[in-house]
Structure 1
Amino acid sequence: MEAIMRAKYLFAAIILFCLMQPGWSRTLTLYEQPRGGIPVVYELPEDANKNQAVTYIKSIRDMFFKQGELIDAKKTEPEVLRDKLKNGFVLYSVFGKESPLLRQTMRPLPFNWQGNSVTVGGKKFSGDKFRFIFVGKNPYSDIFCSVYAASTNEMIFNINNRFTGPRSYHLFDGEKQLDEGDYNENFILSKKDRLSVEEALADVREFFKNAEEIHPNLLAKMSVDRYLELKDRTAEEVKRKLDNQGEITVPDLAYILYYRAAAFEDGHTRIEYNSLPHKIIRAARFPPFLIEFRDGRYWITAAETSNLENMELVAMNNIPFSRFIKPIIERCSGEIIPYKAEQFTHSLNSQRFWWAFSGIIPSTGTILITTTGRAGNRIDTSLNTVDVTTFERLSKHQADSPQSTNTQIAYLDDGNIAYFNYTNFIQTDSEKKAIDGIFQDIKKKGVRKLLIDLRRNGGGNSNIGEFILSYLTTKRIRPFSKMQIKLSRVAMDQKTKAIPGYNEKFRSLEGMLVNVNFDEKKLEKPDAFFNGNAYLLIGNWVFSSAVCFTSMFRDYECGEIIGSETGGVVATFGEIAKLELTNSAIPYSISIKKFEGPHPKPGDDEHGILPDIPVTAEKLEKFKDQKDPVLAFAIDHIHNKAGK
């Protein structure tokens, strides 16, 4: 079990983006998308190592899927298995005739295993300790699953320790990676890692054409002259990146397009290429520390040298740090800088991706950093850069992030404050039931103070936000006062999948902007309605539907808001069309709608929602030794304001 704990930093990425809707032309990737309620299923042959493998699988379930059921596929009736796995699952299995579920998940793949050899997409590999980690076909629905397969039960143990970036599949022989690659939702392998100049420029034209046709106001924050210049410079930059054969790599094209998408200053319109080739990550150099963005500044949160921790990072190589990382920040889509900074810093995975993708850490082996301590003194320190393996180990020095499991309640301040940490707006019947259970428990315990923590909530489905709000106010409400939609072909095609006949009904209006106004409505008052004092804790990662909820909380005066500015703005673009470029298979998204808040206010399109009680570095000084200083400050504030 010690090995499991040492590898904890890798386990955050063991779930694939398996809840992705079918029908999008998308590359399937293993992606950091924790889902606490997903079942973990295994089918293993009987041998001396089976018990060890099952114990290991159970430890993974207990660590990351506490609400998910652990299922032995061989002891479960087929119809029961179908019902339990239809909404997604994680499978651990061993190649062979005794693994029918594994065969079904692999059926669409160009993969063949025969004894000591494996063939993937025509490439043959030899070995005797195979581990195959991949996005599989869910045989019970149109969504996907993640699969951890091996040649023996012995190879299942510690399979999650393998480095698996956001790719469709990874093949190992023991510890050695043999191959990795991508395929789309039809399980068609992506063949190209380089493009001709004609193919690259065709993808550039496709990106801009779709952005112009789909986005409701692409030039809301950009002049026509700048836009035309941006298009011209894109073609020029592609040509500058060509090699001697007149080709450009897919990562180089993605890096160029990241900047173009972010220039529109719309957090929902973005390039979503995150599958860097293994060789780029392995060749990259990284700083020997992790950082976070807080109170408008960058702080070192974990480091090989412990005396650097909790220091403000002011400069790198004598360049102000905010300017040093400008090539990264200007490629992160968003309306405001704090959200762009959060996209870079919010996890080890995101920092690893951007350091490797940008290549801004010099390969010389050393960097000079300037930090500021609590006394305000500036300190210059020369540090050796590190490889990716050493960089990933830094997570063991970092304090755990706030609990990521949805729909759980804790009682703090001697049981006087109900603490609801909500990380994803999920619209399902089971989610509603879980939320109602939380408020029932609060009512049963008679707790009169409630703190809802949205700091790690990047959005989801805004309808569940209305459901939560029904426990906090009896006022008539609306999530938006106004919505504007661009009736593009792509947007209508996507809508038709959810609303039959939508396309046909509005086809004659293609290209038009349609305005929709919303009236306030009365919500049904639940039995477990909360009659006490509500507080909302927010931060720079709060985005999309989480901002929608925050704006309703603000506009309908549900309580006090504590924390930092939200990452998203209230008057925002959103509800995205997800697309993939024809030649490079680079995924991207474009907003199809614009939304205005329930009660529009000045600045709603310029900055995020500002808290009533802002949290600053100075205010946190008192709580610097707490595991979560921001939460400690919020609890202290609520305690002192309302009393016990």
Structure 2
Amino acid sequence: MRSIVYLFVTALISFTCITLRAQTSRALFSPAELKEDLNYLRHLVSTVHVNPYSELTPAQYDSLFNNIAASLEDTATATALLKKIRPVMARLSDEHAQLNLKSALLDSAYRNAPVYLPFMLKKKGNTYCIDRCLGNAPAGYSGWEIRSINGVPVDELVSLCALATIGYPDQRTETALHQFGYLYPWAAGTLTTVFNITSTTGKIITVPGIFLKDWEAFFATQAVPACAERLSYTRYGDTGYINACSFDVKAEGRYSRDSIRAVIDGIFKQVKADGITQLIIDVSRNEGGSTAVGDYLISSIYHKPYLSYQTNWKRSDEYLNLLRSWGFDNAPYAAAPVGKVLHFASERISPEPVPYPYNGKTVIVIGPATFSSAMNFATLIRDNHIATLAGQTPVNGHPTSFGEMFYTTLPHTQLFVRFGVKEHIRPSGRVADNYLRPDIRLTDQQMSDIHEMIRHIIAVK
């Protein structure tokens, strides 16, 4: 059974360590209210998420929740609860999951004080080094091998930062390194504005913190640029290059499903007119949208039946009510008993008839940003041996993953919760190495220069 998958910051010149008290103009919540929100989250994880025990056993999850509940003996803010329960969502190994509070609702220290570290980390062997520096942090810090920060071993901090994010364990660790300074306040026991950094040689430097807005500005520079066109085509001699930078669709207008199909048809009409013998479809910067777009692209380049994804779908009243609020009432889903995991085996899909079928060689380019339905598209290509994959291994996207999002807010703190009710299992089945690796490896230079990309692909093939 197929589904559409939608659907995720001035240094303080001070060298005195200041311990901040988290302040907020929002109400404090009683222990009873905090525990009600925690118990509701426990209920959602155990009964709505399709496979909450891919990483922890039920007993381990119970222990995690029980330990959090035992710590809720005083009034606290929503931010304080968020800090305690982020590891719950991390352990789902769900790269689409979210647990957050709008920045405007965070405790004032998180919003307005320089409690964020101004650098990222990288790992060299068993050593953690300062990598890129942000704000006014001296570039000379880069390369420093760190032992501890404010007396806490850095490896312990990395582990705690990883539990403040989402995704698979190795994915969380990579995020913890690349976003270390941003995630640090969620791992630290107390918030401070100045940090004592101890190197592996015992040298200590004092580093002032930066603000949330500094990290947000950095993230904005790292975001995949929005593309003016969802799909575009350029001819390079006998090679056609399709930049499929987004599979996003809208209900109507130029990005509606029918409009995008018309764009694809127009591209392949031109491909035919140009006499293209090799086609490159680039989804390396594509963060997904609708699987229907990827399916229609496959129909344009492949004309035999192929295997679809397998799907597990958890039946819950909460998700059924959400479906009904959208105007849907899936009869097989509604009729299934609560708690049942409905399994849909791979189906043999017949491609749609298209007006301009392409029969030449095809290469699909993937990259670190390939995600969600773009990942599904590339995985269908790989597992059905439809075309060659080139590029780099996606960082966040995985061939087998969770999708189709349930979302809600916790009743008292209004923390936003989102996770998958479906598990999409690649056509070839589960494998230990849940990564999509290219057949042809491209360097960063080849990924950014289309002429270099084409030359390398032609040389290798």
Shift of 1:540: 4.4
- 1:562 matched to 2:385: no
Tell me the equivalent position of 1:325: 158
In 2, are the aligned partners of 1:487 and 1:509 still within 8 Å (CA)?
yes
* Code of the aligned partner of 1:324: L
The structure 2 residue matched to 1:284, chosen from 103, 106, 114, is 114
Tell me the equivalent position of 1:642: 458
* Superposition CA RMSD, Å: 4.4
- 1:391 matched to 2:214: yes
Question: Residues of 2 paired with 1:393 and 1:271: CA distance?
Answer: 18
TM-score (structure 2 length as normaliser) = 0.75
Question: Residues of 2 paired with 1:195 and 1:609: CA distance?
Answer: 44
Tell me the equivalent position of 1:55: none
Question: Residues of 2 paired with 1:412 and 1:301: CA distance?
Answer: 40
Question: Residues of 2 paired with 1:504 and 1:274: CA distance?
Answer: 36
Q: Flag the 1:552–1:500 CA change in 2: closer, same or farther, 3 A.
A: closer
Give 1:21-170 correspondences, 5 Å limit.
Answer: none
Tell me the equivalent position of 1:404: 226
Tell me the equivalent position of 2:318: 490
* Code of the aligned partner of 1:213: T
The structure 2 residue matched to 1:418, chosen from 235, 241, 246, is 241
Question: Residues of 2 paired with 1:292 and 1:546: CA distance?
Answer: 28
- 1:474 matched to 2:306: no
Shift of 1:358: 4.5
In 2, are the aligned partners of 1:215 and 1:591 still within 8 Å (CA)?
yes
Shift of 1:387: 2.9
In 1, are the aligned partners of 2:366 and 2:392 still within 8 Å (CA)?
yes
Question: Residues of 2 paired with 1:333 and 1:266: CA distance?
Answer: 6
Q: Flag the 1:227–1:365 CA change in 2: closer, same or farther, 3 A.
A: closer
Aligned residue pair count: 427
Q: Give the number of the structure with larger relative contact order, counting CA–CA contacts within 8 Å between residues 6 or more apart.
A: 2
Shift of 1:407: 1.5
- 1:249 matched to 2:77: yes
Tell me the equivalent position of 2:19: none
> Unaligned 5+ residue runs, structure 2?
1-5, 10-23, 251-255
Shift of 1:455: 3.9
Shift of 1:416: 5.0
Shift of 1:385: 2.8
Q: Flag the 1:312–1:463 CA change in 2: closer, same or farther, 3 A.
A: farther
* Code of the aligned partner of 1:573: F
In 1, are the aligned partners of 2:301 and 2:357 still within 8 Å (CA)?
yes
Shift of 1:360: 7.6
* Code of the aligned partner of 1:332: T
Shift of 1:462: 1.8
Among all aligned residue pairs of Structure 1 and Structure 2, give the percentage whose two residues are the same amino acid: 16
TM-score (structure 1 length as normaliser) = 0.56
Tell me the equivalent position of 2:338: 510
- 1:363 matched to 2:179: no
Tell me the equivalent position of 1:608: 435
Question: Residues of 2 paired with 1:461 and 1:293: CA distance?
Answer: 36
Q: Secondary structure at the match of 2:417?
A: strand
Shift of 1:588: 0.5
CA deviation profile, 1:171-226 (whole Å, cap 9, x unmatched): xxxxxxxxxx9xxxxxxxxx954210000000000111122121233223322321
Shift of 1:602: 3.0
Question: Residues of 1 paired with 2:320 and 2:359: CA distance?
Answer: 43
Shift of 1:461: 2.3
Tell me the equivalent position of 1:536: 364
Tell me the equivalent position of 1:300: 132
Shift of 1:231: 1.6
Question: Residues of 1 paired with 2:143 and 2:415: CA distance?
Answer: 36
Q: Flag the 1:238–1:495 CA change in 2: closer, same or farther, 3 A.
A: same
> Unaligned 5+ residue runs, structure 1?
1-19, 22-30, 33-180, 182-190, 372-377, 621-627
In 1, are the aligned partners of 2:323 and 2:329 still within 8 Å (CA)?
no
In 1, are the aligned partners of 2:121 and 2:177 still within 8 Å (CA)?
no
